A and B are shown apart, each in its own frame.
Chain A
Amino acid sequence: MSIPVEANISLVDKHPADDLLRADRFPHILCPGCGIGTVIHTYVRAIMESGVDPDRHVCVSGIGCSGRAAGYVNVDSYHATHGRALPFALGIALHKPDLVVTVISGDGDLTAIGGNHFIHAARRNINLNVICINNFNYGMTGGQTGPTSPKGARSPTAPDGNQDHPFILPHLAHAIGASFVSRWTVLHVRQFQEAVLRMMEKDGFCFTEVLAPCPTSFGRPNNFAQGLHEMEMYRDRCHIENGVSRMSDLQIDIMDPDWPIIVGNFVDVERGSYGEHA
């Protein structure tokens, strides 16, 4: 490895968060401009600021590019089968209630193949923190349309544009009983980190949707060929509206350049987490 030394920069080989990463696996496999790395970074920072010993944090992922998260963090972590991050995680959470169990997985993993687990884990208010990385498609397998793909979005399985209505994930999470619900983007790193910290300290089923660029699979056919293009779209179109009054206003129409994307912390209620009254 030969890195020429530039005069005007301090070149180093370790990041302050490296102790909580499997740094020997870096650079990671995620594409240039992919937002998943920023989610992993934010989660690791939240662990550092949580005041909870990293030994008590557990990370569970399913399958997909987002599902790689569990493989890059240096806490106890599990890479479950596709759609099964939640059943695996709730087993841990119920058996070891002193652990802080966070699921990091994709829109497809959590809400398509894993959708049934999602609704029932929330309904029962299991003490879990769920970070759903919504990149609007099945990134890993080539960008197929999934349940969060916007209407009109092009993909290999919808070459003329998606005809289906997408899920509004925070609306869904609220309807099925989540105790905490938020939506941020990887551009809103500070607010996103605060939401993750809130989930870590809060009992019950906590959910954050984080919008993230997938330039390779979703971006290319939809005019976001670079991660930065989608970040600029977030910057132009996101409005922060904490405690939004109508969850249906959280609909995302990414194809309409004038459509506002509402982000914020929307729900934070006490509902009695699973097993609390046992």
Chain B
Amino acid sequence: MDLSRAQVPHGLVHVIAERCKQCDFCISYCPVDVLEYSEDTNSKGHHFPVVAAGKEQACVFCRFCDLICPELAIFTSESQADASDG
């Protein structure tokens, strides 16, 4: 297999900030540590997940943050960009 040409799926993270209750599941269980807490809070005072600096290309679209979220406050979409280029 030519690893330099292997296509790694790449995802974009979307957040519904108002639903987040800061349970930490998405941040703890992202396998590539894409997420960290926002500096801002939502109207209930919870910090919500954002993409950590330098991790903009790191999401592998495993969808685990979406599946595990008890609030349905986060999901990912597959990005068309070829991760092996970046």
Contact of B71 among A4, A8, A27 (CB under 8 A): A27
Given A27-B21, A42-B67, is A18 in contact with B38 using a C-beta cutoff of 8 Å?
Answer: no
- Chain B interface extent, by class: 35 or more
Least distance between A139 CB and chain B CB atoms (Å): 14
**Beta-carbon contacts of B33-68 to A below 8 Å, as 1s and 0s?**
000001110111010011111001000000010011
CB <8 Å contact, B67 and A16: no
Q: Distance (Å) between the CB of A75 and the closest chain B CB?
A: 16
- Interface SS, A side: loop
B71 touches A37 (CB 8 A): yes
Check B75 against A3 for contact (C-beta < 8 Å). Answer: no
Q: Verify B70–A38 contact, CB threshold 8 A.
A: yes
Within 8 A of B (CB), among A181-197: 186-187, 189-190, 193
Nearest A residue to B28, CB-CB: A228
B40 in contact with A6 (CB, 8 Å):
yes
CA distance A17 to B25 in the complex (A): 19
Tell me whether A8 and B56 are in contact (CB under 8 A): yes
- Mask of A17-57 contacts with B, CB within 8 angstroms, 1/0: 11001000011101111111110111001000000000000
Q: In the complex, what's the smallest C-beta–C-beta distance from B59 to chain A, in angstroms?
A: 11
| Interface presence of B83 (CB below 8 A) | no
* Inter-subunit contact B50/A9 (CB<8 Å): yes
- The reply to whether the CB of B30 lies closer than 8 angstroms to some CB of chain A is no
State the interface size on chain A (CB cutoff 8 A): 42
CA distance A189 to B71 in the complex (A): 14
Residues from chain A with Cβ under 8 Å of B24 in the complex: 33, 226-228
Given known A-B contacts A9-B51, A26-B71, A37-B72, A227 and B18 have beta carbons under 8 A apart: no
Contact with A along B7-45 (1 / 0, CB 8 A): 000001111111101111100110000000011101110
CB-based contact B71/A12 at 8 Å: no
In the assembled complex, 7 residue pairs joining A and B whose CB atoms fall closer than 8 Å, in A order, are A6-B50, A10-B14, A27-B18, A27-B44, A186-B68, A187-B68, A189-B64
Please report A residues at the B interface, Cβ cutoff 8 Å.
1-4, 6, 8-18, 21, 26-28, 30-38, 40-42, 45, 186-187, 189-190, 193, 226-228, 231
B-side residues, CB < 8 A to A, are: 12-19, 21-25, 28-29, 38-40, 42-44, 46, 49-53, 56, 64, 67-73, 75
